Amino acid sequence: MKNRLSRYKGRSGPQLLAVLLAAASIFLSTSVGAQGYGFAAPGNYGVKIYKTDYTLYPFVQVYLRTFDSQMQPLVNLNEMNVGLMVKGRPYDPLKRQFGIQSIRKREEATRSVIVVDASKSMAGKPFDDSRRAAVRFIESKRPQDEVAILAIRDTKNGFDLVSEFERDGTALVRRLNDIKPDGLKTRLFDTIGAAMQMCAMSGQGSVRTGHYIVSCSILVMSDGKDEESSIRRDELMTRISNLEIPIPIYSLAYSKIDQSHFKNLEALSKNSFGIYYVVGETTERMQRIVEQVQNIIQSDYVITFRSYIEPDGERHNLKVGIEFPSGSGKYMSDDTYFEAIQPPPIAPIQKALKALNQKIPPVPSGNPYWETSDSAMSIPTGTPAQ
């Protein structure tokens, strides 16, 4: 955050005012960039807050995913790109009360569920290529990240649980290699529904960052054909739309025989803040695609800020705006909330609080917000009000 403030040094009054006005414009916008989970208009970008953690109050951590019109993450964001508003009042960036980091450089873990189509129609090269892609996905994860594996099967539930969430990549690959493509029916929707349930029920872990789960995604490799699932596609779509925390579905659609069912995967991915990849018959691309998916998962950001609201057990509104590129006037925002609660006197929590207090010490004035008397929120003389 010190690097961020050094950028203001040497700027003239009008230059600094221009920077603050650009940041202010984030909050004056009425658009919200997360509508529809992951839609960004051509030439635009979006932002989605998917988790807000206030375990370490007064420090609040906001986890978010960014994406451009190609659904690729925005890179190299820093505090110059961020606007923060609590209960309608914008934070003054010059007071150093918030920071942003990529989770790639942090210890929090992610979770992913791989759904493998093990039906007979996939036997041969398509299945071998999908298994190699799954191995590459596992190899691309960070040591703390966890992966589970479901195989679509002719069982009572329509799938086999090949592996629970596991960090050990060697164990995951060994279990993956035990899967045989001998299924007679493909209960795709039931299996994806089970993957969603695994994500939704996964605990956040302990306060130690290496055990804290910040997101969960689903990777599906299939031809999209569903046979006799107990839930219909529209029911699954409704479940996805009603999720408070999005669970992105990244689908790799491939088939040597029939591509008419690809639309099932396309619909699920687009509705879930995920990405739909058409592999078709050329399955060699699959390894590069799963590397791209891992890059997206690991490119999420976390914004940490110090709140100045006394613990009252109440919910308080929070808006985060991202301006990209910085100073461009192009911005999107998303809303969430946090609860002002006093953390329990547990040793790991107190240790984490001490570390955060050193990184973001309280501002002497006790006011982290822009002050109308000396900020861009007041209209200077000679500048017409808009």
Confidence of residue 379 (pLDDT cuts 50, 70, 90): very low
Closest by alpha carbon to 127, among 279, 268, 354? 279
- Residue ranges of alpha helices (H) inside 46-168 are 125-139
pLDDT for residue 377: 39
pLDDT for residue 2: 42
pLDDT for residue 275: 94
Query: Does residue 280 register a pLDDT over 80?
Result: no
pLDDT for residue 315: 97
Taking only the tens place, the pLDDT of each residue in 83-100 is: 999 999 999 989 999 999
pLDDT for residue 21: 42
Taking only the tens place, the pLDDT of each residue in 188-211 is: 999 999 999 999 886 544 445 446
E-strand stretches of 190-330:
213-222, 249-254, 276-280, 301-306, 315-323
pLDDT for residue 201: 81
Calculate Rg over the CA atoms of the chain: 23
Beta bridge partners of 183: 119
Tell me how far apart the alpha carbons of residues 76 and 101 are, in angstroms, rounded to a whole number.
Answer: 9
Residue-range domain boundaries for the chain: 2-6+27-101+300-359, 109-298
Tell me how far apart the alpha carbons of residues 77 and 69 are, in angstroms, rounded to a whole number.
Answer: 17
Query: Does residue 128 register a pLDDT over 50?
Result: yes
Confidence of residue 375 (pLDDT cuts 50, 70, 90): very low
pLDDT for residue 134: 96
pLDDT for residue 66: 93
* 245: DSSP letter: S
Tell me what percent of the chain is helix, strand and coil, each rounded to the nearest 5. Answer: 30, 25, 40
Confidence of residue 245 (pLDDT cuts 50, 70, 90): confident
Let me know if 154 is exposed, middle or buried by CB neighbors in 10 A (0-12, 13-18, 19+).
Answer: middle
**251 and 268 Cβ atoms separated by less than 8 Å:** yes
Token representation of residue 274 = 């995920």
C-alpha dist (Å) from residue 297 to 179, 188, 278, 355: 26, 23, 20, 26
Taking only the tens place, the pLDDT of each residue in 248-271 is: 999 999 877 778 889 999 999 999
pLDDT for residue 309: 97
**29 and 51 Cβ atoms separated by less than 8 Å:** no
Query: Does residue 276 register a pLDDT over 60?
Result: yes
21 versus 268: which is more confidently predicted? Answer: 268
pLDDT for residue 256: 72
pLDDT for residue 35: 32
**360 and 96 Cβ atoms separated by less than 8 Å:** yes
Amino acid 248 reads: P
340-358: b (≥16 Cβ within 10 Å) or e: beebeeeeebeebbeebee
pLDDT for residue 383: 32
Let me know if 86 is exposed, middle or buried by CB neighbors in 10 A (0-12, 13-18, 19+).
Answer: buried
Average predicted confidence (pLDDT) for the chain? 83
301 contacts: CB under 8 Å, gap ≥ 6: 63, 64, 65, 66, 77, 100, 101, 102, 103
- Between vectors from CA 135 to CA 132 and to CA 138, what angle results, nearest 5°? 155
Closest by alpha carbon to 220, among 247, 180, 185? 247
Whole-number percent of the chain with pLDDT over 70: 81
Taking only the tens place, the pLDDT of each residue in 298-311 is: 999 999 999 999 99
Tell me how far apart the alpha carbons of residues 43 and 40 are, in angstroms, rounded to a whole number.
Answer: 8
State whether residue 313 is helix, strand or coil.
coil
**93 and 79 Cβ atoms separated by less than 8 Å:** yes
Query: Does residue 170 register a pLDDT over 70?
Result: yes
Taking only the tens place, the pLDDT of each residue in 322-351 is: 998 888 878 789 999 999 999 999 999 999
Query: Does residue 247 register a pLDDT over 80?
Result: yes
State whether residue 110 is helix, strand or coil.
strand
**303 and 53 Cβ atoms separated by less than 8 Å:** no
CATH class, 109-298 region? alpha beta
pLDDT for residue 203: 53
Lowest mean pLDDT among 21-30, 141-150, 239-248, 327-336: 21-30
101-111: b (≥16 Cβ within 10 Å) or e: eebeebebbbb
Closest by alpha carbon to 250, among 295, 294, 220? 220
Confidence of residue 33 (pLDDT cuts 50, 70, 90): very low
Query: Does residue 220 register a pLDDT over 50?
Result: yes
